[in-house]
Structure 1
């Protein structure tokens, strides 16, 4: 029997290894979770463990749960709180909290954990984009795990110039999705555990002020006049995402824009203030839609294909939109006229994503792995011309579960980056633990 999840917002299904009709074996409690994943059968062949967590960023109910094929799709039972996948090996449950790899004895007769968890390793690589720790274990006493920073929660907002020189740091670790105000004096960001909220950081005073409260709020975007901020919001005890707008000074209450039964993650606000670009659909499978700010208009698609498109941003004059598409099999940056229709132009050819326009509109910045790239660009007679790209500098940039950019560019051309501090390029160190159960209490 095989266990699998058909999409990123689903419970688990079983299907015979020889083929057949899938049957649900878990049911997602939408008041707590949005996804079940990373199942592993236990020795009896009926029970299994799996991770249940939420795309909203809330970790309050994130954990390893126990299910059973004989449970007929019932909701599972919480075993331990965890931030990534788990494995059962050598009589122990191996799981992760942040970057700590923990072990806790597990009785397969009572199906209960016993004693307290013991930390086996810290700084274990944890890919929070998919909630998977990079570790494995055998039943004869071996564990192998990778180390390194990969979580946006570990990053530090850092100023860089165009050569990669560090100019200073901003706020506390764990701040992410920075969007600098049009006047360059403030930055909107997401911060907080277990539920993220939108905050405003004033560069001059060093003060951070909370803008939102009461739900999972992230991906803030400024209006071009600097008076309002749109953000992604999931109210408490809800699984529905929506776009909400609030005054940047915190006055008044939030205003909900047109609500759809889809995830809505804002990416930019047009210079004339009339339109908001947003990623439409489940994270990892989005199209780019346009939300008119006027209440009498409905959203409409801007780029909608079978491929994954995301991260649309307006040019300074509002006539063009740069975005990332994975139609070639990897992220590349494209430019298309707004509001369309019209031809599009491919800007990158060796991989690039999360574009940002330079203030004068004559270049697009983008990210490819650790590389911060610059693409010269110009427009004439309704067409786009691109020049030879160059690598400005290298660093590491933390992404969120919603794949929002972990960086922004200030009006004066500096980069504000959620830097993880160490390069992701090259090989990762692997550590082998031998006979690891010997030092644990029986």
Structure 2
């Protein structure tokens, strides 16, 4: 009798609809950590992880085992950020690559108060990506594969991984709380740009943090500008722009209205990334006004003309942001990155004539004004919702503030860094009195 060859079955990574991914995983009895069963599970987890080139970590439920275990690739410790803020792996010899890290019965014991929106994907939620608010630093306690109890701190990417994988063990997927979730399969223009469009010669005009986020996302999609103009105060290099013979100009929060002769200079004219759902909130301060409640958060790609945010729309999308509203810098980053991600594929379609323009309805247009320093002044007994939104909208500049008369009758300017609405009333939480360091509102009141 001829025996059939036995082929080892490939360990499958379960996808988001698998019931086991929604269960709270069980702890592993410490005495069983060294058992063949657990060691076999660890081997299968590593095997599954290493079949995915972009994977950095995996939790046991992702291979169908409802146990509190996750594995992190050792080379994560070699990751560095390049000049664009993107992660790259350092070139190391095989001997220097750290070993994979095993975490059994992990418990996050400390988290930093400071949090940041971090971009995430997941091997069990292919090919969705989004932003999740994570603590920048954490401390984790767990057993290793030998049953030894260890504790270590982490920051940046490793801290993010610890939180993501711990969520897996609690039946949570990143898409449960992520914002700006988008589908980016391998053949998506943002992950695999066609050579013809990635080699576009373009000039980028942008003079703000919003602009930087737009450009970072463009560059990560394979689009690199031939020239960057980042100051609206200096005269435009008109002759240089003519000589460059660019295919297209891209404008994102530049802070200066370009003359028609510049707008029409490139072959495919000039496109603009605007952080609102046009025709609503045209002008210089759409983000602040969106936070103030005058519009829905979103971004628009439009063909620029000589009027303010008036040209035809090529694409626009609302951007869900949670919690909402949020501080200016947070909203600015989310809208900037969303704008850059939207622009990549739109740019490709635009230069190949595969996109239709939509004329804006001027009857529906609204306009924003420049923010002035006095706009940040609040009255503590004013409308709670209005005050709270001003704190968030003006958190970058000019800062929301009150004029407080202390027990000595002296007026003190107090900048409100954060606030809340409690029992229907506006209440500052973190403040900075003139000439002093940041403190809680309670501490300030005790001394004044």
Please give the TM-score of this superposition, normalised by the length of structure 2: 0.25
**Which has the higher Rg, Structure 1 or Structure 2?**
2
Greater strand content: 1
Greater helix content: 2
Structure of higher RCO (CA pairs closer than 8 Å, 6+ residues apart): 1
